[in-house]
Amino acid sequence: MNQNDRIKKNQQRLNKRYKQLIEQAYNFRQTDSAISDISEFQAIKLLNKINRLKYLNRGEPNISIP
């Protein structure tokens, strides 16, 4: 497994967790605003990590040189 594959796998894992946190924040918005805020904050931190991984994985050509 090369570095690009590891980055993509990590991105997928983080995206899944990000969506869970956003959904949790939305569900708690009306009942418990403190938990909602914590979930949103964690989701924002994850989004920052996702964006950094996108930056690392940008423009990598998939050209194999014989």
Q: Taking the domains of the chain in order of start, what are their residue ranges?
A: 32-57
Q: Are 46 and 17 in contact (CB under 8 A)?
A: yes
Taking only the tens of pLDDT, the chain with its 66 residues reads 687 888 889 899 999 999 999 999 999 999 999 999 999 999 999 999 999 988 888 765 554 444
What dihedral angle (degrees, nearest 10) is formed by the CA atoms of 31, 36, 38, 40? 180
This prediction has a pTM of 0.78
